[in-house]
Amino acid sequence: MKTLKWILLVLLLLLMTGATWRGELYRLFVNYRSIGQRINYPIRDTALIGYIESEAAEKKISDAEDVIALALSITSGRLNFTTDKNYNDPNLLIHTGTANCIGYSAFFSTTCNHLLKKYNYADTLVATPQIGQLYFLKKNIHEYVSDPFFKDHDFVLIENKKTGETYAVDPTVNDCLLIRYVTYKK
């Protein structure tokens, strides 16, 4: 009985540590590499503009990281993940409410670029959806999956146009695990 208690205690401590440090652990073990870019959709639907503006109303924005956090919050507040065939255009996703990683990245980048413009960061920063590959412990995980759905995974780079510094975010992972930034390797 004593052994069982110790095992349960160790498991509980591991779970608590994993939950507390999930972002750091994820960034340590998982790296993203871009193999291409997706298009940035312009906003054409007034419902999308209205949704972004209503979610941004009265929010305190003090820097670009606040804009990124708000765009992630807006994205996860509107979309639910699906593996079903779906639209990628945020102007359509605003009405369906479901997306795969391509749609999440498109919705986030469109939202982020709108907010960057709204809060006067668009001259410096731009969000671009990326077609990516995930590496776990430096090994490409896509090589081990034969399902075409998992041949790649989309994420977003927010690049400083002047310095080249980048923020890498995965809106899908953020929605599931609340991990804001990911590790990007060129």
CATH value at residue 141: 3.10.620
pLDDT on residue 5:
74
User: Do β-strands 153-160 and 166-169 pair in parallel, antiparallel, or remain unpaired?
Assistant: antiparallel
- Does residue 180 lie within any of the structural domains? yes
9 in any annotated domain: no
Q: Which range marks the domain in which residue 165 is found?
A: 30-184
Dihedral (Cα; 119, 123, 124, 126), 10-degree rounding = 80
Name the residue with higher pLDDT: 31 or 7. Answer: 31
Q: Indicate whether 145 belongs to any domain.
A: yes
Provide mean pLDDT across the span 164-183: 93
pLDDT given at position 11: 72
Give the pair of three-digit tokens for residue 4. 């069982």
Q: Is residue 105 part of a domain?
A: yes
pLDDT above 90: residue 19: no
Extract the runs of DSSP E, i.e. beta strands, from 30-151.
Answer: 30-37, 80-81, 98-99, 125-136, 139-140
- Percentage of the chain with pLDDT > 90? 72
Q: Is the pLDDT of residue 93 over 70?
A: yes
91, 45 in Cβ contact below 8 A?
yes
Q: How many residues does the chain have?
A: 186
Average pLDDT of the chain, as a whole number: 91
pLDDT above 70: residue 1 = no
Mean pLDDT for the stretch of residues 112-132 = 97
Q: Are strands 139-140 and 125-136 parallel, antiparallel or unpaired?
A: antiparallel
Amino acid type, 47: A
Q: What's the pLDDT at 150?
A: 77
Question: Could you give phi then psi for residue 44, rounded to 5 degrees?
Answer: -120, -20
Task: Write out the DSSP string of 130-179.
Answer: EEEEEEETTEEGGGG---GGGS-EEEEEEEETTT--EEEE-HHHHHHH--
Residue 83 in domain: yes
Give the closest residue to 113 by CA, choosing from 43, 183, 184, 37: 43
Mean pLDDT across 73-85: 94
**How many other CB atoms are there within 10 angstroms of residue 125's CB atom?**
21
Check pLDDT > 90 for residue 64: yes
More confident residue, 55 or 8: 55
pLDDT at 23 (0 to 100): 82
Domain count for the chain: 1
Both tokens of 115, joined, read 């907010």
Residue 22 lies in a domain: no
- Does residue 127 sit within a domain? yes
Over range 44-48, report the average pLDDT: 97
**Which residue has better confidence, 183 or 7?**
183
Positions of E strands within 38-104: 80-81, 98-99
144 pLDDT band, cuts 50/70/90, is confident
15 found inside a domain: no
Q: What is the mean pLDDT of residues 52-79?
A: 95
Q: How confident is the model at residue 176, as a pLDDT?
A: 86
What mean pLDDT do residues 90-109 have? Answer: 96
Pairing of strands 30-37, 80-81: unpaired
